[in-house]
């Protein structure tokens, strides 16, 4: 099997590629090609350990010629490529619309034209909006509240349309908040850990009671692999981690992980349109494909904090660009 991974030099995409090359998903075994523009969050270093076994194509998913060349001869496309940081989308939405919506349409069309056998579109629970209680099932209405989540909802609908209109074998995955090594230090866990390791403070939005479900990147990628191998065409699968924490609770655990105290926390004005709670019902992927999260949050967070402590060579050069 020849697999194309878009955005395969980013945080989640590179974990999927490293796992695939390392034999974690034998049902998808074969050659691996990565299409990545290598923007600020997509880095060659993330693929260094598997570089000899991966064909890296530097290109833009919004470019029809690059997309057509990248999918040529491929059996499976796993589409990670996206702009994903909510705060950046609030500051400027244009790149999110062009990459996430237009880029997805370009990749879908390229896959259709090339006769690709399977297309997995990787999305987010944020497309559902905010939920006070209970959990979203896959058929819940999409009610995105940020430019980022709105752009992802648009891309989800395009993916669905290519199945319904053209018969392309498309499955959509929607995950909860990811964490793990190689995550760019603008997202909350690596931002907090690296700030604390440097002796700085960390910003806590509003009252700190916004709730997120935390999913280790390894569990997420394993869920994606299950969908790529056996997911039904036209179906959406939620992938959750099963650990819901308020941002205040998460902050406390991060402080403990690096031996810091609450004097290092700086309350800041809440984010515009900040969703209060996310929670996905992932019983469908469990029942159909046998998915269960394997990495406990305690183990995963400790290992993640240790990785950032040991890999200053990876994140220190990036810190100056976090606010750019």
Q: Which residues are catalytic?
A: 125-126, 148
Give the distance, in angstroms, between the CA of residue 169 and the centroid of all CA atoms in the same chain: 21
The residues, any chain, with a CB within 8 Å of residue 245's CB and separated by 6 or more, are 211, 212, 214, 253, 297
């Amino acid at each position: 099997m020849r697999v194309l991974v878009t955005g395969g030099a980013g945080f989640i995409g590179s974990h999927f590629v490293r796992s695939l090359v390392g034999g974690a998903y034998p049902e998808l075994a074969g050659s691996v090609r990565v299409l990545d523009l290598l923007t600020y969050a997509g880095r060659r270093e993330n693929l260094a350990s598997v570089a000899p076994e991966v064909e890296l194509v530097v290109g833009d998913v919004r470019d029809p010629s690059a997309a057509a060349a990248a999918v040529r001869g491929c059996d499976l496309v796993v589409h990670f490529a996206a702009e994903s940081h909510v705060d950046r989308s609030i500051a400027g939405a244009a790149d999110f619309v062009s990459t996430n919506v237009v880029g997805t349409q370009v990749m879908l069309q390229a896959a259709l034209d090339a006769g690709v056998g399977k297309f997995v579109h990787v999305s987010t629970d944020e497309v559902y909006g905010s939920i006070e209680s209970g959990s979203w099932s896959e058929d819940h209405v999409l009610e995105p509240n940020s430019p980022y989540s709105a752009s992802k909802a648009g891309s989800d609908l395009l993916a669905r349309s290519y199945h319904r209109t053209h018969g392309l074998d498309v499955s959509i995955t929607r995950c909860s908040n990811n964490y793990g090594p190689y995550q760019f230090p603008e997202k909350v866990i690596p931002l907090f850990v690296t700030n604390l390791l440097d002796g700085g403070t960390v910003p806590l939005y509003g009252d700190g009671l916004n709730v997120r479900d935390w999913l280790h990147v390894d569990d997420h990628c394993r869920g994606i692999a299950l969908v790529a191998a056996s997911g039904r065409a036209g179906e959406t699968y939620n992938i959750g981690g099963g650990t819901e924490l308020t941002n205040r609770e998460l902050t406390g655990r991060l402080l403990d992980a690096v031996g810091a105290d609450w004097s290092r926390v700086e309350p800041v004005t809440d984010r515009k349109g900040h969703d209060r709670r996310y929670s996905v019902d992932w019983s469908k992927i469990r029942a159909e494909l046998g998915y269960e999260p394997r990495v406990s949050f305690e183990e995963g967070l400790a290992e993640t904090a240790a990785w950032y402590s040991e890999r200053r060579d990876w994140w220190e050069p990036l810190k100056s660009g976090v606010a750019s």
